[in-house]
Structure 1
Amino acid sequence: MNREAARTTVVVGATSEVGAEVSARLAGAGHTVRGVARRLGVALDDQAALDAAFAGADSAYVMIPFDVTAPDLHCFEDEVGARLASSIAKAGLNRVVLLSGLNAHLRMGTSLGAALMEERLAALGLEELVCLRASFFMENFVKGMGFVEQAASGVFATPFRGDLPMPLIAAKDIGERAAALLDAKGASGQRVVELHGGGYHTLEQATAILGRAIGKDVAYYAAPFADARAGMIANGLSASFADALGETAASFNKGERWALEVPSVANATPTSFEAWAENFARVGNAA
C-alpha cells in the first residue's frame, strides 16, 4: 500500500460488530484507527472527548446507536447526532460514511435517528458523504429479539408479519462495505448506497432456518403490537423504544416500500442467512 494514502479514521461504535469489522479492515490496510466507544474511554455524551478523537482525522465511520432504555429515544438520538456533527465540523473531515437504515427515507420509527443524521451531515457540506442504508441485521434475531430464549418454548414471536419478504444482512458485510468506502482512493460519487444483504426471507422462513441451525423446531407468530409492547417493557426496554419499533413494524406490515432500489448485484452482500445461521449455531450459540 502507498503510505501517502494512509488516513486517520475515526470509527464510532468501534466495539460493535460493524465497527469492529471497519476498524480491523482499515487497520489492516495501513490506516490509523481511532475508536469511539465508552469501553475505549470515549463516550458519546462527552463532547470534549469526541472533539479530541476527531481532531486531526481525515475521515470517519459514524452511527447513531440505539439506547433501548432511553426514556425518549429520539431525544437521545438527536443529542448524540448533534455532538458528533459538532466534532466533525470542528475537525474539518472530508470523508464520512454514515450507517443508516434502508427505510430512512420514511423518516420514522427506529430509523428516524439515522434519517435525521443524514440531514444533519448533509447540512455540513462535507466533500464526501456516503449514507450506507443497510437492511435488517441478521444479528437482531439473537441480540434484541431473543430468538434462542423464545425458541425454548417452540414459538418465536415479534410484531412483524411473517409472510412478507424482508432483506437480511450480516453486520460484518456492512463493515466490509463501509471500510472499502473509507479506504477508496477516490470519491464514490454516491450520496446513498443501499445494502439489501444476502437475500430476502419472510420471518416464517427465517425462523425455520435459524431453528434448524440450532436444532429446534420453532414456529413463527406475528404478535399483536400491544402484546409485544407489554413484553418489551416487562423485559426492561423503554416505552419510547418499544413505540419506535412499533412504528417500524406497522410500516413493514402495511407493505410500505423500505428500499428505493430493486435487488441487484450492486446492493447485495455475500453472507446468506443460511450461512449466518449455521455460523451462529456453531460459534455464537455455543459461546
Structure 2
Amino acid sequence: MNQQANRTIVVVGATSEVGAEVSVRLTRAGHKVRGIARSLGVALDDQSALDVAFSGADSAYVMIPFDVTAPDLHRFEDEVGARLVSSIGKAGLRRIVLLSGLNAHLRMGTSLGAALMEERLAALGLEELVYLRAAFFMENFIKGMGFLEQAASGVFASPFRGDLPMPLIAAKDIGERAAALLSAQHFPARRVVELHGGGSYTLEQATTILGRAIGKDVAYHEAPFAEARAGMVANGISASFADALGETAASFNRGERWALEAPTAENATPTSFEAWARAIARSHAAA
C-alpha cells in the first residue's frame, strides 16, 4: 500500500497488544498518534476526554474492549460504543479501522459488541470504513484461558470442542494490518476485511504445540459449559461475560461458519501458532 504521511490518528486501546503495535507502527511511519487508554489519561467512560482526543484527528483505530468483570457485558459494550461514535461524529473523522471478530456476522456472544459497533459506524456515513474481522487471538490462551496455570496439572480445559479447526491469529499481526490500512494512500473499497491468521488448529493440536514449547506434556479436555462457567466465576469473571463466552463456544461447537471467506494468501497473516508458542515459551522462561 502506498503511504500517506502526516495523519493525526486516534488509537483506542493504545496499551493493548494490538493497539500498542498500531501505535508503534504509525509513529514510525511519521503519523501523530493520540492514544486512548485509562493509563494515558483518556478513559472510555469520560465523554469529554474522548471528545478532546478525537477533535482535529482525521483517522482512528477503534475497538470495543472486553471487560471480563462487567456485571452486564453487552450494556458495557453498548455504552462504550455510543460514546466513541458520539466523539467520532463530532470530530468528523474520515477514516476508521474497527477491530471486529471473524464471526461478527453471527451477532452473538463475545462478538456482539463489535457487531453492534459495526452498525453504529455504518450509520455515520464515513468516507472510509473497514471492519477488520480477526480470528481467535493466540494471546487468549495465556490471558483469558489460563493455559500456563492449567498446564501445571497436565490438562488444559475449555468449553470449546477440541477436534474442530479454529483459525488463530497473533495480536501483532492484526496491529500490522490495521496500521497499514490507516497509513494507506488508497483505502480499500470493501468494508469487511477478514484476517484468518497464521493457520487453523484444533485445540487438541494447539494444546500439544504450546505444551511442548514450554516443556510440558499437556492434554486437552473439553469441559461441559456448566463446569467451565463455575471455574470462570470462581476466578473473578462475571457471569455475564462467562455466558457470552458460552454462546461463542456453543456456536463453534455446532460448527457454525465463523468466516465468510475461504482461507487465502490475502487473509492469512505471517505468525504461525508454532512460532508464537516458541516466543511465549521464551518469555515464560525469562520470567
Shorter-chain TM-score bucket reads over 0.9
Shift of 1:286: 2.9
CA shift in 2, pair 1:4/1:120, >3 Å: closer
Instruction: Determine the structure 2 residue equivalent to 1:72.
Output: 72
CA shift in 2, pair 1:33/1:284, >3 Å: farther
Q: Is 2:239 the counterpart of 1:243?
A: no
CA shift in 2, pair 1:95/1:3, >3 Å: closer
Q: TM-score, normalised by structure 1?
A: 0.98
Residue type of the alignment partner of 2:90: K
RMSD after superposition = 1.1
Instruction: Determine the structure 2 residue equivalent to 1:230.
Output: 230
Residue type of the alignment partner of 1:260: L
Q: List per-residue Cα deviations over 1:232-257 (Å, max 9, x = no partner).
A: 00000000000000000000000000
- Given that 1:51 and 1:90 are in contact with CA atoms closer than 8 Å, whether structure 2 keeps it comes out as yes
Shift of 1:5: 3.3
Instruction: Determine the structure 1 residue equivalent to 2:263.
Output: 263
Shift of 1:183: 0.2
CA shift in 2, pair 1:284/1:15, >3 Å: farther
Q: TM-score, normalised by structure 2?
A: 0.98
CA shift in 2, pair 1:3/1:241, >3 Å: closer
Runs of 4+ more than 4 Å apart: none
Instruction: Determine the structure 1 residue equivalent to 2:286.
Output: 286
Q: List per-residue Cα deviations over 1:26-81 (Å, max 9, x = no partner).
A: 00000000000000000000000000000000100000000000000000000000
Q: List per-residue Cα deviations over 1:84-137 (Å, max 9, x = no partner).
A: 000000000000000000000000000000000000000000000000000000
Count of residue pairs brought into register by the alignment: 286
Residues in 2 aligned to 1:123 and 1:113: alpha-carbon distance in whole angstroms? 16
Shift of 1:160: 0.1
CA shift in 2, pair 1:73/1:261, >3 Å: same
Shift of 1:284: 4.3
- Given that 1:3 and 1:30 are in contact with CA atoms closer than 8 Å, whether structure 2 keeps it comes out as no
5+ unaligned residues in a row in structure 2: which ranges? Answer: none
Q: How many percent identity over aligned positions?
A: 83
CA shift in 2, pair 1:265/1:4, >3 Å: closer
Residues in 2 aligned to 1:27 and 1:114: alpha-carbon distance in whole angstroms? 26
